A = this chain, B = another copy of it.
Amino acid sequence: MSDFAKLPQPPYYAVIFTAQRTKDDEAGYQRMAVHMDELAAQQPGFLGSHSTRSADGFGITVSYWRDRAAIAAWKRQGEHLHAQQLGKDKWYARFSLQIAKVERAYDFQK
């Protein structure tokens, strides 16, 4: 069972990152992904994230943030800037990134 993030009541922000991996450098990618998860979790305003990828390399990561200022600060973080560049150079064939304000949320659990 995967962990679901404990999120506050809306409003808060979501960054929806949808990406097709190249077939290159899986070990380097995995290392960086783990490091970026740890680093993101230390940023002010980080609320949680969910990530999944199918066997064909198509993945979606949604990270949740208190506000757009927190997202902007994370985007400019030094190590993260480096990871973003490597992502474009090596790891991603294509991606889309959206910044969205969560207005309503609903949970279900058996």
Q: Which residues of A contact B (CB under 8 A)?
A: 1-2, 4, 7, 10, 14, 16, 18, 20, 22, 50-56, 58-60, 62, 68, 88, 92-110
Per DSSP, chain A at the interface is: strand
> Nearest Cβ distance between residue A7 and chain B, in whole angstroms?
8
Q: Does A98 contact B14, Cβ atoms closer than 8 Å? A: yes
User: Do residues A52 and B62 form an inter-chain contact, with CB atoms below 8 A?
Assistant: no
Chain B residues lying within 8 Å of A93, measured Cβ to Cβ, are 1, 109-110
Cα of A103 to Cα of B22 in the assembled complex, Å: 28
> Which residue of B has the minimal Cβ distance to A5?
B96
B104 touches A99 (CB 8 A): yes
Which B residues touch A59, using CB under 8 A? 52
Which B residues touch A108, using CB under 8 A? Answer: 88, 92, 94-97
A50 neighbours in B (Cβ, 8 Å): 18, 58, 60
Nearest CB of chain B from residue A49's CB, rounded to whole Å: 10
